[in-house]
Structure 1
Amino acid sequence: MDNETFRDWSRRAADWGADYRAGLRDRPVRPAIAPGEIFRSIEASPPETPEPMEKIFADFEEKIVPGMTHWQHPRFFAYFPANAAPVSVVAEYLVSAMAAQCMLWQTSPAATELETRIVDWMRQALGLPEGFSGVIQDSASSATLAAVLTMRERALGWQGNKKGLAGQGRLRVYSSDQVHTSIDRAI
């Protein structure tokens, strides 16, 4: 894809996204499909030659979108809303356009320093004391895992990572059967 084609499809994708949001209320919250229906609609073998973007985009609209649960739908009350405020979508596009790898300072200094500043803004907004810090987790699953690992280390006197878990005291986690699936995965 050359730069002009990239520009054109980026605009078309943005227009599609705006139209999608404008008509979201008219879509069903969840698709009325059977398991495997989307899978069977996708060709069993990869294409032998590149397909034009028109075909790829048509497949997206005809095969993928009808099989999606619309998390931003005004009648979606399961789990939690996705982080897809319009400003977030635009920000994600910018991050994706740069193919930013924001895992640590060396891979993206600006992202790390922005996160550090935003966490401090959050501290101030919540009235937490100076010096209180943390990181922004990308999902409930990673946040839960970080919390569980912190609880484990605290319960083991901060020695679980240093000495290993073999021979340590037995640990328990109590929760109801109504917890988020991330709890089971983290444990």
Structure 2
Amino acid sequence: MTTTTYTETASAPGAWSTRLLLPETPIETVYTLLADLSASTGMPITAYVVGGDGDPADELLLVRDPSRTHGCPTVGEYESLAARLVTETGWAVVPAGTPRGILVGLGLREGYGPGSPQHSLSEVEHLLAEHGTDWTCRPARLASARLLDGQIQWYDEVGAVVEAAVEMTAAIELIAAAFRQDRVVITDYAADRTRALAAA
């Protein structure tokens, strides 16, 4: 039984995400576009690229990721960033309606080592089902680009996008702990806040 707990290390007012649809595009091309956008704007970019590992990309979610190191631009700044991406690529924004609950990108690999054990989407679904029914879970690649000392710092891994009722927050933290995740970001629409949690 895991004993990992999480503490909040950074947060920002406002809960924002934007869903974009694009023609089937090689994931490497999407990654290059996101890295170039981060480099040209200086803004940190985090995206959940929906789909299985090796699949071309046709949908992604842009989210905010508060950081003690990189800070967290405002919702307005990210709206402008998304608008620029749409203008430059022709990708389409999907109207969000009224979001509720929470949005979480959950990594499936233990820690950051490329050779570390990796979990499956079915494991996430099984564990979520043990705690409730008000959730959806889809495969995704979790990607982030940060401009550091003039160079793009890039990270990506196979993961899952979970959208759930806020009451599922504790269950998601338990799953993250079981998968030995060092860090989890929760977009909390109910509280209109975005929180970064790190393993204690």
Higher helix share: 1
User: Larger % of strand: which?
Assistant: 2
TM (norm. structure 2) is 0.21
Give 1 or 2 for the bigger CA radius of gyration: 1
TM-score, structure 1 as length reference? 0.22
